[in-house]
Amino acid sequence: MSRAEAPPAPAGRRPRALWTFGLLRSELVTTLRRWRTLALLGVLAAVPVLVGIAVKVETRGGSSSGPDGGGGPAFIAQITNNGLFLVFTALAATLPFFLPMAVGVVAGDAIAGEAGGGTLRYLLVAPAGRTRLLLTKYTTVMAFCLLATLVVAVSALAVGALLFPLGDLTTISGTRIGFADGLGRALLIALVVAASLVGVAALGLFVSTLTNSGIAAMATTVGLLITVQILDQIPQLHALRPYLFPHYWLSFADLMRDPVYWDDLVKNLGLQALYAAVFGSAAWARFTAKDISA
């Protein structure tokens, strides 16, 4: 794996903060320039387009996509009345798999990809150090979480505005709110969805420190994600399910209630923070003690 823009080698007594900022900027640019990253973002942007076209075609055909007429994601029955609901539907459709898979791929490649490409030892040249490098990598992955979520939301908003009317919308509770308020809630939901992925990002980063193969790290992270998703659907594991990181992912729908239900939202954010702390600490312990030979 070639590095598109490597940080300049530290010169003399160059301030550490300045060098760290340069490293972070380089990591962000390098990640966003990779064809793999662009392909992932392209797929995420295409999901709202496909959902919007499918709903539009179904509407023209006279079919019903109401709550009892289809098994689509939450809010899908409201898209024809207000295109803003496509944002909520697209996020609900991508959060269980597409968004975490994309984050898992980026996080899994963060350290292992550098080791496999022979650039890891160069990145560890002082004054960066292993802790600073690991924090920079995790910050980059979290930035990708936000970017990927916003790509889905913006694509959905554009398609919704193009294919369906916009205006005041009805909340899950049955109350009416203005379009500006709805747009604000859409942004807040996107931020909550992005925050829901920090646990996956930490897990992927930890896996990335265990191997020198980027492909193996990415595959393992995605495999673990799928496994946990399956476990979360098994009723017999009801005592364990609330502790699995995907369990409260769709709680963002509570932001469309009036008043907002905060219980599951707080549980979700707290659970993600716990996973980030546990796997982030495990990644730091592994990476700081790892023998870097490449």
Count Cβ atoms below 10 Å from residue 38 Cβ, excluding itself: 11
pLDDT digit string, tens, across residues 221-242: 999 999 999 999 998 988 999 9
pLDDT digit string, tens, across residues 7-52: 454 444 456 666 667 778 888 898 899 999 999 999 999 999 999 9
pLDDT digit string, tens, across residues 97-132: 999 999 999 999 999 888 887 777 777 765 567 888
Binned at pLDDT 50, 70 and 90, residue 64 comes out as very low
- Residue 1: pLDDT above 80? no
Dist CA 225 CA 221 (whole Å): 6
pLDDT digit string, tens, across residues 211-222: 888 899 999 999
Residue 169, beta-bridge partner list = 177
- Residue 72: pLDDT above 60? no
For residue 206, report the phi and psi dihedrals to the nearest 5 degrees. Answer: -60, -45
> Please, are residues 45 and 65 in contact by the beta-carbon 8 Å criterion?
no
> Please, are residues 281 and 203 in contact by the beta-carbon 8 Å criterion?
no
Residue in this structure with the two tokens 């999901």, named with its chain if needed: 47
Residue 265, beta-bridge partner list = none
Dist CA 253 CA 87 (whole Å): 12
Q: Which helix (H) or strand (E) holds 252?
A: none
**pLDDT at residue 280 in the model:** 95
Dist CA 32 CA 143 (whole Å): 10
- Residue 3: pLDDT above 60? no
Binned at pLDDT 50, 70 and 90, residue 65 comes out as very low
Give percent of the chain above pLDDT 90. Answer: 57
DSSP 229-293: HHHTT-GGGTTTGGGSTTTTGGGGGGGGSSSPP-HHHHHHHHHHHHHHHHHHHHHHHHHHH----
For residue 3, report the phi and psi dihedrals to the nearest 5 degrees. Answer: -95, 120
Per DSSP, 5 falls in state: S
- Cα of first residue to Cα of last residue in the chain, in angstroms, is 12
Residue type at 187 in one-letter notation: L
Count Cβ atoms below 10 Å from residue 9 Cβ, excluding itself: 9
Which residues, at least 6 apart from 204, have a Cβ–Cβ distance to it below 8 Å?
103, 104, 105, 106, 107, 108, 110, 141, 217, 218, 221
Count Cβ atoms below 10 Å from residue 75 Cβ, excluding itself: 22
Least confident range from 3-7, 91-95, 115-119, 280-284: namely: 3-7
Give percent of the chain above pLDDT 70. Answer: 86
Dist CA 136 CA 208 (whole Å): 14
C-alpha torsion sign, points 266, 110, 42, 5:
positive
Secondary structure (3-state) at 280: helix
